[in-house]
Amino acid sequence: MGRWLGALLAVSLMPVAVAPRAAREDQIFVVAPNGDDANPGSEALPWRTIQKACNDTPPGSTVAIRTGTYNEKVIVRVSGDEGAGFITFRPHGDGPVVIDGNGREGDNLVLISNCSFLRFEGLTLTRNRARDGSAVRVTGSGEHIELRDLTITEIRGSDAMGITVYGTSPLTPISDLVIDGNEIADCDPAESEALVVNGNVTRFAITNNVVHDVDNIGIDMIGGEGTCPEPANDAAREGICRGNLVYRARSSYGGGFAGGIYVDGGRDIVVEGNVVTECDIGIEIGAENRKARARNVVVRNNLIFNNDKIGLAFGGYDYDTTGKVLDCVFTNNTLVANDSLGRGFGEVLVQAAEGNRFFNNLVVANPQGLLLRSPALGAVGNTFDYNLYFVTDAAVRPAFFWNGALRQGWGAYRDASGQDAHSLLADPQLVRVAPSAPDLHLLRTSPARDAGDPSFVPAPGEVDIDGEPRRMGVAVDIGADELVVSERPVRRRVGSR
């Protein structure tokens, strides 16, 4: 990873509030490479396999796994409960604990089905050869499952994914799910996703993960795919996707349209404080399945830059064979130098979508100058205002494809669209936009300062990309960064060397 991505990583892993870790751990069972499954699982007489622990550990216990490599694929057959607490699987010692699936039958390294109150943390999962398989797969129903600080690499094959959560029960969801602080890299999820929640999944937190160098979508939240047989419950919902870093998520098929972060038919989700770069598409809110609706998704305070084809996309791509995006909010995002391959998609792509609001966003186009594209009637019924637009090449007039027609120039676009009445076309005065070493904070003199919607009130707990208060002046600053003049000399710089 380059030094600039290392700096991005430091920002994207800011502490965030997620589900509590509290659990009563009354008993510790030990697994060790030199153990024996006939042992009692004590410190002196440990078990040999993780599978033994997955068969026999009681609620409220900890499975302490000693340093070493465990060549196995495990099926979890135990659950904690609300009274006794979680069953926690974690390393025991200073070195890594590796679950290595090389040569083992089965598609999943860790399979969790219809279980609850489980926590897996700090393990390395690697070398799984799969056709529709995962490093960790959660299915059925259940509650309070936590996957924390896992390192997942070399998941090979087709649809060879990192973390997959499929809520398949028609009535009982997978709920209160935490996926936090994991790294998923060098995997082959195509034609699926590296990290996904799909179907009857509710109250989830996907936070502080790093997903990179995968051959399709990075993080996905899906509804309408039929994973849950009850249509009313067949959607990932009431979730948070926060503080994640996604880079080099590029599709290996179909011309390459993988989203770094994608909400596909999910609803009631907040996507905030993420950094997405060098993907096919930065962030996409869509609805691939017919009659599916992505609804009430809030996309805010994200950095989206230097992605190959599109920065931010929302809407069904082929309505009515696909669905629509309804009643979503896109606010205080910073988009810079996307469509880096010059394919003509632009910074923002709007397709079949209605009732959405796009405001307080900072959008900087590369020298081709294409800021917004929407097909015929694609942007009807959506509102754009209090944004700041800019083109890095002063000789290029800003271009907007509004409802299928090219509008060249700021005045022509606003006259034709009736949008962006309070928006600006101006140099945002970012610290540095060079792709090799970007720093996308505002300078003190930026016209984005206090230029957002004056009626904007941050949501409870909402912060900017640095974790600082979202509004500190007479109005919110435009973009993901809220300028703090007194801290400018020492504050963290996204992407700085």
How confident is the model at residue 437, as a pLDDT?
Answer: 87
> What are the φ/ψ torsions at residue 267 (nearest 5 degrees)?
-145, 155
Q: Please list, in sequence order, all residues whose beta carbon lies within 8 angstroms of the beta carbon of residue 374, skipping any fewer than 6 positions away.
A: 349, 350, 351, 401, 402, 403, 404
Over its length of 497 residues, how does the chain's per-residue pLDDT go in tens digits?
343 344 444 444 444 444 444 444 469 999 999 999 999 999 999 999 999 999 999 999 999 999 999 999 999 999 999 999 999 999 999 999 999 999 999 999 999 999 999 999 999 999 999 999 999 999 999 999 999 999 999 999 999 999 999 999 999 999 999 999 999 999 999 999 999 999 999 999 999 999 999 999 999 999 999 999 999 999 999 999 999 999 999 999 999 999 999 999 999 999 999 999 999 999 999 999 988 999 999 999 999 999 999 999 999 988 888 899 999 999 999 999 999 999 999 999 999 999 999 999 999 999 999 999 998 777 778 999 999 999 999 999 999 999 999 999 999 999 999 999 999 999 999 999 988 889 999 999 999 999 999 999 999 999 999 999 999 999 999 999 999 866 443 344 343 32
The residue assigned the tokens 């896109």 is: 330
How confident is the model at residue 484, as a pLDDT?
Answer: 87
Q: Minimal CA–CA distance to 319: which of 254, 375, 235?
A: 375
Task: Please state, in angstroms and rounded to a whole number, the distance separating the CA atoms of residues 181 and 437.
Answer: 25
How confident is the model at residue 318, as a pLDDT?
Answer: 82
How confident is the model at residue 485, as a pLDDT?
Answer: 63
Q: Please list, in sequence order, all residues whose beta carbon lies within 8 angstroms of the beta carbon of residue 475, skipping any fewer than 6 positions away.
A: 450, 451, 452, 453, 454, 456
Task: Please state, in angstroms and rounded to a whole number, the distance separating the CA atoms of residues 257 and 485.
Answer: 39
In sequence order, the β-bridge partners of residue 152 are 125, 184
Domains of the chain are 25-430 (2.160.20.10)
How confident is the model at residue 120, as a pLDDT?
Answer: 98
Task: Please state, in angstroms and rounded to a whole number, the distance separating the CA atoms of residues 267 and 325.
Answer: 10
How confident is the model at residue 11, as a pLDDT?
Answer: 46
How confident is the model at residue 99, as a pLDDT?
Answer: 98
The predicted model scores a pTM of 0.94
3-state per-residue secondary structure call for 456-496 = CCCCCCCECCCCCECCCCCCCCCCCCCCCHHHCCCCCCCCC
> What are the φ/ψ torsions at residue 450 (nearest 5 degrees)?
55, 25
- Annotate 291-315 with DSSP letters as a single string: T-EEEEEEEES-EEES-SSEEEEES
How confident is the model at residue 486, as a pLDDT?
Answer: 64
How confident is the model at residue 191, as a pLDDT?
Answer: 97
How confident is the model at residue 376, as a pLDDT?
Answer: 76
Tokens of 227: 């994973």
Task: Please state, in angstroms and rounded to a whole number, the distance separating the CA atoms of residues 211 and 182.
Answer: 8
How are beta strands 399-402 and 405-408 bridged, if at all? antiparallel
Task: Please state, in angstroms and rounded to a whole number, the distance separating the CA atoms of residues 359 and 367.
Answer: 23
Q: 163, 184 in Cβ contact below 8 A?
A: yes
How confident is the model at residue 27, as a pLDDT?
Answer: 95
Cis peptide before 427 (omega within 30 of 0): no
